[in-house]
């Protein structure tokens, strides 16, 4: 009796790299939030690259005195934005948890997910 066995080729795991970019005009609050994420990652054994400090940049925001387009304006509001970037390698649940958290006012989070292929995979 001839028997045919089918073998599935093992799938190559293609991890995701989630880039978390946090920005704030308040450097102290930003450092506390980033430090908290880093501490949680260390406790859970998550591979975390960073935090990387980007160069701060200045923002100038015009302020109208009234809502109509022809009214005068106040001096521009100027402030500095601080930025930290971290990459979470794999550990999608951890990255999803961080992205879904509530952060203090003034913290802006941008999330970018990239699928990384391993050598030899198609």
Map out the domains of the chain as residue ranges.
Answer: 20-115
Average pLDDT of the chain is 87
What is the rounded distance in angstroms from the CA atom of residue 111 to the CA atom of residue 96? Answer: 10
- At 119 the pLDDT is 62
Strand partners, 109: 22
Fold of 20-115: Alpha-Beta Plaits (3.30.70)
Residues 6+ apart with CB under 8 A from 63: 73, 74, 75, 76, 77
- At 105 the pLDDT is 94
Percent of the chain with pLDDT over 70: 84
- At 71 the pLDDT is 80
pTM of the entire structure? 0.77
Answer yes or no: are the C-beta atoms of 91 and 73 closer than 8 Å: no
**Residue 13 predicted with pLDDT over 60:** no
Exposure b/e, 8-29, CB count within 10 A at least 16 = b:
eeeeeeebebbbbbbbbebeeb
Beta strand spans in the chain (E): 16-24, 47-64, 73-89, 107-115
Tokens 């387009």 found at: 69
**Residue 6 predicted with pLDDT over 60:** no
- At 11 the pLDDT is 47
Percent of the chain with pLDDT over 90: 68
């Amino acid at each position: 009796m001839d028997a045919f066995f089918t073998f599935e080729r093992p799938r190559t795991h293609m991890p995701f790299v989630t880039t978390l970019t946090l920005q704030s005009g308040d450097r102290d609050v930003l450092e506390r939030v980033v430090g908290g994420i880093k501490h949680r990652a260390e406790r859970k054994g998550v591979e975390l690259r960073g935090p990387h400090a980007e160069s701060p940049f200045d923002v100038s925001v015009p302020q109208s005195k009234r809502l109509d387009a022809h009214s005068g304006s106040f001096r521009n509001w100027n402030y500095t934005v601080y930025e930290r970037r971290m990459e979470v390698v794999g550990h999608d649940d951890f990255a999803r948890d961080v992205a879904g958290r509530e952060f203090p006012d003034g913290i802006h989070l941008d999330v970018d997910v990239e699928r990384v292929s391993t050598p030899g995979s198609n």
